[in-house]
Amino acid sequence: MIEARLQQEILIRSEDREGVLAEVTRVLSDMGINVIGIRLQTANDEAVIHLLTSSQSYACEALQDAGYDMSERDVVVLDLPHHPGFLRRASEALARKEISINDLYLSVSDESKTGVVVLTCSNNAHAIQLLRGY
């Protein structure tokens, strides 16, 4: 069964330089904030860090206080069983309803029973309704 929810993702924009990820994660760890999901992209001398944490509001406050250029956006968060085919089933269900996936990342360990998928799509609210309990 798929658990689906809407959540805010933190986006941090910075110059692309050595140590920026270490600095951001130090701010979070110093506040006791756990990283649940993270993705780093670099292009044209810019780094963009996508973050889901154990406490988004505290993370936002700490990162703003540290001077980071940040924003938030709505994302769909799926807790998928760690079995072959569940991501396929979810993506096929979205495709059948002509919901286009724009951005996606996931994390799961071999020992885990579930994985976390973070995505944005052409209609986040409809995607959540469609996938809840799928």
Q: Is there a common fold for 8-73 and 75-131?
A: no
CA 10 to chain centre: 8
User: Quick one: what percent of the chain has pLDDT higher than 90?
Assistant: 79
16: left (phi over 0), alpha (psi -120 to 50) or beta: beta
Give the pLDDT confidence score for residue 73 in this predicted structure: 96
- The token pair at 113 is 């029973």
Question: With contact defined as beta carbons under 8 Å apart, do 76 and 46 qualify?
Answer: no
Name the pTM for this structure. Answer: 0.87
50 closest CA partner among 22, 34, 70, 31: 70
Using DSSP, state whether 67 is helix, strand or coil.
Answer: coil
CA distances from 134 to 42, 86, 123 (A): 34, 10, 17
pLDDT in tens, 68-88: 999 999 999 998 888 888 899
Distance CA 64, CA 71 (A): 10
The fold adopted by the segment(s) 8-73 is VC0802-like (3.30.2130)
Give the pLDDT confidence score for residue 78 in this predicted structure: 92
Report the side by side order of strands in the sheet with 35-43. 35-43, 46-53, 3-15, 69-81, 114-121, 101-107
* Domain ranges for the chain: 8-73, 75-131
Supply the CATH classification number for the domain 75-131: 3.30.70.260
Produce one character per residue of 103-123: b if its CB has 16 or more CB atoms within 10 Å, e if not. Answer: ebeeeeeeeeeebbbbbbbee
33 closest CA partner among 24, 46, 42, 41: 24
pLDDT in tens, 37-70: 999 999 999 999 999 999 999 999 999 999 999 9
